[in-house]
Amino acid sequence: MKERLEDTLWRHFFTNPRTNYNPYMVKLVEYPKHIIYDKDIMDSYKGQWNQKAFSNNNPIYLEIGSGSGNFAIGMAEKYPERNHLALEIRFKRLVLSANKAVKRNLNNVVFLRRRGEEITNFIENGEIEGLYINFPDPWEGNEKNRILQPKLFELLDVIMNVEGTLFFKTDHDQYYSDVLEFSKDLENYEVIYHTPDLHNSPKAVDNIRTEFEDLFICKHNKNINYIEIKKIK
């Protein structure tokens, strides 16, 4: 008997059997040009993303934690001369993101089901020009679990070109202060811009909001912190 697609996909992602499946897991296969969920395929694209995923030689920008894709889609629309890779784990968010890309006929953005700490497995030396991290978990009380900390820059030493830039947005004021503090000790990087109030800064005109950003502004009237860190050597 031929195995159901639901069972095949579930075994691909998980170990323990289950009777009720996330319906969005099955929808992943409906977007072959905009979602890659197989790690072996991603790893085989290492150093060849432009050729295999985009069929051009445009600079590549990476987002870690893309949510429902508002930011990635906005970037792809605003910068058609760039290629965009966006990492997300949740099935529903991946499907919603890919659907937005299809509706807008965007071929310069691909969503990957992958964790940020694995980027050197599928991104080659100097393969990206920029990295976006928007509103990551601040891990209050367990700050060692944060995505943006000094050890991340050891990965960026590998995958990011010199003159490449990390862009960071957060509603968490202490996270913002902590990044500014440890950045002083980064040998290969320099903070080139920062503000505790992005939406009242000169950068506001080019800012593309995430879905979380809209929530913070509309419901909580919260300031948005922003930092740009350039790789200088």
Report in angstroms the alpha-carbon separations of 211 from 53, 159, 191, 223: 26, 27, 26, 15
Catalytic residue among 38, 137, 173, 214: 137
Report in angstroms the alpha-carbon separations of 97 from 10, 16, 72, 101, 116: 21, 27, 8, 6, 18
Handedness of CA 226, 134, 191, 146 (dihedral sign): positive
Cα–Cα distance measured from residue 18 to residue 7, given in angstroms and rounded to the nearest whole number: 9
Report in angstroms the alpha-carbon separations of 132 from 8, 9, 40, 154: 33, 29, 24, 16
Instruction: Report the run of H or E that residue 195 belongs to, with start and end.
Output: strand 189-195
Cα–Cα distance measured from residue 110 to residue 94, given in angstroms and rounded to the nearest whole number: 10
Cα–Cα distance measured from residue 160 to residue 230, given in angstroms and rounded to the nearest whole number: 10
Is 137 among the catalytic positions? yes
Q: Using N-to-C axis directions, what is the helix angle for 91-103 and 70-78, rounded to 10°?
A: 30
User: Please, which residues bridge with residue 128 across strands?
Assistant: 160
Which residues belong to the active site?
137
